[in-house]
Amino acid sequence: MKTLFRSLFFMMALGFFAASCSEAPKGEKVDAQEAKNVDAEKAAEAKTLAVDVASSKVEWVGSKVSGSHNGDMKLQSGELQVKDGQLVGGTFVLDMASINVLDLDEESGKAKLEGHLKNNDFFEVEKFPTATFTITSVSAAEGEEGVTHRIEGNLKMRDIEKSVTIPANVNITDGAVQATTPQFTIKRSVWGIDYSGMEDNLINDEMGLKVTLAAK
C-alpha cells in the first residue's frame, strides 16, 4: 500500500513539475469577461475605414514543456471607425485557415503542427473558419508606459464570444489608422480550446497574441 501511495504521489508531483515548467508566453495577462453590447449609434456617426488586410496580421505564440512555437494568421476583412480624430469602433475577421507556423520548416514538422492546430484539438477550422474581434470601446491609457490606448472588444472564436481589454498603440495621421499591440496573453480554454498535450509535454493554457492593423 505504501508503495502505491508513493507511486501516486510521484505521478502527481511529476505532473505538477511538468505544468510548472511550461512557462506562459510573455505579455500582459488579459482576462475574459462576458461579451459587451456594441454601440451601433456611435459607429454610424463615425467615418469607416477599410482595413488593409495585406498590411495587417495577428501573431501568436504557444508554449509547452519542451519549448514553444510561434506564427501568424491573416485577416480576411476588417473596418475601423474614426470620429473627431479618435478610434471609436471597428471589427476585423481572422482567416483561421491561414494559421502559419514560422519557427519550423517542412523537414522539422511545419505542416504537421499547422494541421494539428487546425483540427478539433485546437481551432477546428473546418467548422469555425473565422474568428472576429469587435471593438466596444476605446479609452486613453493614462500614465501607462508603452501603450497609448485600451481597446475593449468582443473576441469570438469557436462560436464562443467573450469581452477582453487589450493594450494598444493607436496612431491616426492624415485619415489613416495604424494600431498595434504589444504581446498580451489570453487563456485559450475560455474559448473551448482545452487540449492539454501529452502527459510529459503539457501545453500552457496561456497563448500570446500580437495584433497589427492598418486602415485608410
Q: Which domains does the chain have, with CATH numbers?
A: 23-215 (2.40.128.110)
The pLDDT score that the predictor gives to residue 42 is 78
Cβ contact 94:53 at 8 Å: no
CA 172 distance to own-chain centroid: 24
Cβ contact 147:180 at 8 Å: no
Average pLDDT across each block of 10 residues of the chain; the chain has 216 residues. List them in order: 46 43 86 94 88 98 96 98 96 98 97 98 98 97 92 98 98 96 98 93 97 98
Burial of 79 (0-12, 13-18, 19+ CB in 10 A): middle
Write out the three cell numbers for 20.
Answer: 510548472
The pLDDT score that the predictor gives to residue 69 is 98
The pLDDT score that the predictor gives to residue 36 is 97
87: β partners: 82
The pLDDT score that the predictor gives to residue 4 is 43
Q: Which of 176, 181, 98, 166 is nearest to 134 (CA)?
A: 166
